[in-house]
Structure 1
Amino acid sequence: MKESHLRSLVKGISWRITGTMDTIFVSYIITGKASYAFSIGAVELITKILLYYLHERAWAQIKWGWIPTDRQPKQNA
């Protein structure tokens, strides 16, 4: 089975929301300023969604590690 471009995009967005919340939290702890934390989080959100999407699509083209799902059990003759 092959993953659709939309599925890769939605996975990237959901993961980045989680990651961006972490980045905002860490940025706030380090800077002590909410405005800096949210600015860093906003930039990071966009760039990392794009990077994740490209990474997923590249790996979708690599056949290594895939296991066929349509195998039929061998029947005794």
Structure 2
Amino acid sequence: METPRRTLVKAVLWNVMGLTVMSLVGLAMTGSAAVGGAMAVINTLIGLTMYVLYERIWARVNWGRLHG
């Protein structure tokens, strides 16, 4: 079973990568670093929250695990 701390560290690292990519995409799509950055930050906050919840729910599901 995965600890909540491990889940959080994984989520933060994943979202830092996503924030970087989304900032570049936002900049390319809008031509504005401020607008692109704001879009990326909002996306990252939503994504981080959803990822942590998703991982914690799956941590409680025993289906598909090998025991032994």
Shared fold per TM-score greater than 0.5: yes
Instruction: For 1:13 and 1:3, locate their aligned partners in 2 and report how far apart those are by CA, in whole Å.
Output: 15
**What are the superposed Cα offsets for residues 29-53 of structure 1, whole Å, 9 maximum, x if unpaired?**
1101101111111111211111000
For the residue of structure 1 that corresponds to 2:23, the secondary structure is helix
TM-score for the superposition, normalised by structure 1 = 0.82
Instruction: For 2:21 and 2:64, locate their aligned partners in 1 and report how far apart those are by CA, in whole Å.
Output: 31
Choose between structure 1 and 2: higher helix proportion: 2
| 1:6 alignment partner in structure 2 | 5
TM-score for the superposition, normalised by structure 2 = 0.91
Instruction: For 2:41 and 2:10, locate their aligned partners in 1 and report how far apart those are by CA, in whole Å.
Output: 18
Instruction: For 2:66 and 2:36, locate their aligned partners in 1 and report how far apart those are by CA, in whole Å.
Output: 42
For the residue of structure 1 that corresponds to 2:2, the secondary structure is coil
The runs of at least 4 consecutive aligned structure 1 residues that moved more than 6 Å come to none
Gaps of 5+ in 2: none
| 1:44 alignment partner in structure 2 | 43
Give the deviation of 1:63 after TM superposition. Answer: 0.9
Give the deviation of 1:64 after TM superposition. Answer: 1.2
Instruction: For 2:6 and 2:36, locate their aligned partners in 1 and report how far apart those are by CA, in whole Å.
Output: 29
**Amino acid corresponding to residue 7 of structure 2 in structure 1:** S
Summarize the alignment of residues 1-77 of structure 1 with structure 2, pairs less than 5 Å apart: 2-68=1-67, 71=68
Q: What root-mean-square deviation, in Å, do the aligned CA atoms of Structure 1 and Structure 2 show?
A: 1.0
The structure number with the bigger radius of gyration is: 1
For the residue of structure 2 that corresponds to 1:7, the secondary structure is helix
